[in-house]
Structure 1
Amino acid sequence: MDPLTHALLGATAAQAALGPRLGRQAWLVGGLGGVLPDLDILIRSSADPLLAIEYHRHFTHALAFIPVGGIIAASPWLLRQRHRPDWRALLVAGTLGYASHGVLDACTNYGTHLLWPFSPLRVAWHWITTIGPLLTLILLFGLVFAVRRRSRSPALLALLLGLGYVSLAAWQRERALDMQAQIAAARGHPVTRAEMFPTVGNPVLWRSVYQSGETLYTDRLRLLGAEMTLWKEGSHVDLLLEKDLSPQARADQRVRRDFARFSYFSAGWTAHAASDPTVIGDARYSLRTDAFEPIWGVRFHPGTAVPTEWVDFTTRNRVPISELWREISGTASGYRSMPSPGNSR
C-alpha cells in the first residue's frame, strides 16, 4: 500500500486504542510505526538488480518482526525522559502501528512475507490495489476528527468502515473468480491455475488471469448487480518457463538463478512483453488492457558481468481515470453479458 495509507492506518489504530492515555502522542507513534517496515527499500545493490525486489516486503513486514518494529517506532519517545512513565502505552502504540503495515500489504496482490522465517510463502489476498483513495480518505477523516475532538470514536468508526470496504472487496473477488470459471468453461479451457487482480481504487472492476496449458488468458470483469455483471475479452500470451529461455541464457547459471528469483517474485506469472520480446515481465500487471505490456520485468545479458537488467516502466503507468470510470459505470465499449456454457462469444 502507499506510504500515506500505511501511516494513516497505523495512526488511526493507535489513536483508537490509546488516544485517551497518550493524547496526541498516540497517533504520531502509530503513524511512524505504520511506515517503518518500508525502510526495506534501502536494501539494494547495483551488482544485483533483483536484491531490491527480493527484500521489499520481506522480513520487516513479517509477523515475527512486529515486536522489534514496535520498539523501534516507540524509541524516539522512549529516549526522552518526560515520556518514559508512559513507556508501556508507547510500546503498544508503536506495535499496533507497525503490525498494521504487513497485514494491509497482504490484502494487496504484490505479496508479503508475513510468515518469515517459518515459511517462504508470499502472502497475497488480492483484495485491494496498492492505491486505494476511498480507504485513504476514510482513515484520514477518522483520524482528523479523533485528534481534534480528543476522542476514540471517530478513529474506531474509521477502522470499522475501512474493514467493511476491504471485506466488500474480498467478497467481490470471490464473485469474480466464479465469473472467471464460467468464462473459461465457455471457452472449453481446462484451468491449471487462476487469479483475480483488483483495479485501482475500486471493488467493481477486476483483471482476470488464468492459465490453461501453457497459455495465460486475461479478461476484464465488471461486477455490480446480477444484471449489470459484464465482461470484456482481453488477450492471451504464452507462459514463459526456464525451458523457454534461449540456450545462451540457460547456459549461464546466474541467469537461471535470477529467472527463478523473478519467477518467485511474480508468483510464476511470467511472459514476454508483446512489444519487446527481450523483456520478461510480471504478467500480474499490464500497462494495457488489450495486450500484455508489463509494468516491470527483467532482460538477460548472458555472459556479461551483470547478466540481469531490471526493466521498470512504472513511470508510464498512468491510470486513465475517464476510461476507468466508463468501465466502472458500464459505458465502456466491448463489455457484454456473461457467456453461456460452451460459448464465449
Structure 2
Amino acid sequence: MDTVTQMLFGATVAQAGFRRRLGRKAMVAGALLGMVPDLDVVVGWVAGPFANWQYHRSLTHSLLFGPLVGPLFGWLFWRLHRAMVQERPDVANRDTLRAWIWLSILALITHPLIDLFTSYGTQLLWPFSTYRFAINAMPIIDPLYSLVLVVALLFGSLRARPALAQDVAGAALLFIGVYSCMGWAINDRVQQIAAEQFDGPAEIDAYPLLFQPYYRRVVALTPEAAHVGYYSVLNPKPITWQTFPQERSTATNAVAATEQAVLFRWFAMDKLLWREESDGNGGRLVEATDLRYGLQGNADIGFWGIRARVGPGQEVQGPVEVFAIPRDSSRAAFRRFWAELTGW
C-alpha cells in the first residue's frame, strides 16, 4: 500500500491495541513506525530504479524485521514517553516498556502483511529467500481503505473513552481484513472467468486497477503472445482481448541475458512482454515491459520496462535503460474507466 495508508494503518493498530495503556501518543508512534519500512526507497533515489527494484520491499519488509528491530524502537519510544511524563511514576515500569515494544513489533510486521495483498511483490522471507509474494487482491491506493482508517483515527484522537476508541479501531481493522479478503476472492473469480473465456491454454493472472477492487486487468500469457483484457464484477460482460506478440529472437535473448534484464525479470515475477524493432542502423531495439501493471489506452501493456540496442552482430550496445509508458489521464479516459467499472 502507499506510504500514507501504511502510516494510517500503523496508527490504527496502535489505537486498537495500546490506546488505553499508552494514550494518544501511541497513535503518533504507530504512524511513524508504519512509515519506517518504506524508507528503503531511499536506495532507489540514490542508486536508481534498478536498485529500487532490487531492494524495495526486501530487508525492511521481511517478517523478521519487526521482531528484530521492534524492541529497539519500543525502547526508544518508552524512553521518550518517560521523559515527557516525568510526573507519572508508573511509566517507567516493565509493563509500559513491554507495551511499547509490542506496539513497535506489531506496527512494523503488519506493514509487509498488508503490502502482501498488492501486486508489487514482497520478500517476506528475506534473507532466507528472495521470492516475491503477491496476492493481487488490492490496488496500491484505495480511497475507501484509507478513509475507514482516517475515520477510526479521528475518533481516537478525540477525548473519547480509551476503551471505546480501541473498539472503533479494532472494528476498522476488521473491516480492512474483510475488504482485503473480498478483493482476493474477486481476483480469483475474475481469473476463473478469464480462463473460461480465453480460447486455449495460457497462464492467466488478474490484477487490480486503480483505486478500487472491483475492476481488474487480466493478462493471458502464452509463449507466442500476451493477451490483455479487462473485467468488472460490477459490469460483467465478455472480455475483449488485445493481443501483443511475444518476440523470441537472438536479439531478445542477448538482452535477456544481461544482469539488468535478469533483475527485471525477477522483479516482474517473470510477467514480461518482449518486443523488438529495427533501430534504423542495421541493429534492433529490444524492449521488455512489466505486464503486471497497466491501464486502458496508452499503457495497455504496462507502465514501465527496460530497453537496449542490439548490434548487427547480436551484441548488446550501450547500457540497458529504464523507460516509462505515459498513461492517459484525460477526462475522457476517466469517463471510460468509470463506465467500464460501473456500466453507467
Whether TM exceeds 0.5 here: the answer is: yes
Report if the CA contact (8 A) 1:49-1:309 is conserved. Answer: no
RMSD: 2.7
Q: 1:75 to 1:288 in 2, by over 3 A?
A: farther
**TM-score for both structures, normalised by structure 1:** 0.83
Task: Give the match for residue 26 of structure 2.
Answer: 26
Report if the CA contact (8 A) 1:296-1:312 is conserved. Answer: yes
Task: Give the match for residue 224 of structure 2.
Answer: 214
2: CA distance, partners of 1:45 / 1:291 = 24
Matches within 5 A, 1:88-127: 88-127=98-137
Report if the CA contact (8 A) 2:268-2:292 is conserved. Answer: yes
> 4+ residue stretches of structure 1 with deviation over 4 A?
45-49, 240-244, 272-278
SS at match of 1:141: helix
Task: Give the match for residue 193 of structure 2.
Answer: 179
Task: Give the match for residue 343 of structure 2.
Answer: 330
How many residues are treated as equivalent by the alignment?
Answer: 316
Task: Give the match for residue 229 of structure 1.
Answer: 236
Q: 1:49 to 1:178 in 2, by over 3 A?
A: closer
1: CA distance, partners of 2:238 / 2:276 = 23
Note the C-alpha offset of 1:303.
4.3
User: Higher mean Cα deviation, 255-264 or 31-40?
Assistant: 255-264
Q: 1:72 to 1:287 in 2, by over 3 A?
A: farther
Corresponding letter in the other structure for 2:175: L
SS at match of 1:310: strand
Report if the CA contact (8 A) 1:34-1:99 is conserved. Answer: no
- Residue deviations 1:5-27 (CA, integer Å, cap 9, x gap): 10111110111011100011111
Q: 1:47 to 1:111 in 2, by over 3 A?
A: closer
Corresponding letter in the other structure for 2:145: L
SS at match of 1:145: helix
Task: Give the match for residue 282 of structure 1.
Answer: 290
1:311 has 2:323 as partner: yes
Note the C-alpha offset of 1:329.
1.4
Q: 1:243 to 1:24 in 2, by over 3 A?
A: farther
1:269 has 2:271 as partner: yes
Note the C-alpha offset of 1:318.
3.6
Report if the CA contact (8 A) 1:129-1:199 is conserved. Answer: yes
SS at match of 1:123: coil
- Residue deviations 1:101-160 (CA, integer Å, cap 9, x gap): 101111001100011122221000000010111100011101211231232111011111
- Residue deviations 1:57-78 (CA, integer Å, cap 9, x gap): 1111010111234235435423
SS at match of 1:136: helix
1: CA distance, partners of 2:105 / 2:240 = 45
2: CA distance, partners of 1:154 / 1:46 = 41
2: CA distance, partners of 1:317 / 1:116 = 36
2: CA distance, partners of 1:242 / 1:46 = 35
Q: 1:46 to 1:145 in 2, by over 3 A?
A: closer
**TM-score for both structures, normalised by structure 2:** 0.83
Matches within 5 A, 1:1-345: 1-44=1-44, 49-74=49-74, 76-80=76-80, 81-82=82-83, 84-85=92-93, 86-148=96-158, 149=160, 150=162, 151-184=165-198, 187=199, 189-191=200-202, 193-224=203-234, 229-239=236-246, 245=252, 247=254, 249=255, 256-272=258-274, 278-289=286-297, 292-300=300-308, 302-304=316-318, 307-313=319-325, 316=327, 318=329, 320-331=333-344
- Structure 1 unpaired stretches of 5+: 332-345
Report if the CA contact (8 A) 1:37-1:60 is conserved. Answer: yes
Report if the CA contact (8 A) 1:234-1:289 is conserved. Answer: no
SS at match of 1:63: coil
Q: 1:68 to 1:290 in 2, by over 3 A?
A: same
- Structure 2 unpaired stretches of 5+: 84-90, 280-284, 310-315
Corresponding letter in the other structure for 1:323: R
Q: 1:46 to 1:30 in 2, by over 3 A?
A: closer
Report if the CA contact (8 A) 1:270-1:283 is conserved. Answer: yes
1: CA distance, partners of 2:133 / 2:176 = 20
Note the C-alpha offset of 1:287.
4.2
Note the C-alpha offset of 1:242.
8.3
1: CA distance, partners of 2:97 / 2:248 = 53
User: Higher mean Cα deviation, 164-173 or 63-72?
Assistant: 63-72
1: CA distance, partners of 2:201 / 2:48 = 38
SS at match of 1:138: helix
Percent of pairs with identical residues? 28
2: CA distance, partners of 1:273 / 1:2 = 31
- Residue deviations 1:316-339 (CA, integer Å, cap 9, x gap): 4648443222112114xxxxxxxx
Task: Give the match for residue 87 of structure 2.
Answer: none
2: CA distance, partners of 1:140 / 1:242 = 52
Corresponding letter in the other structure for 2:289: G
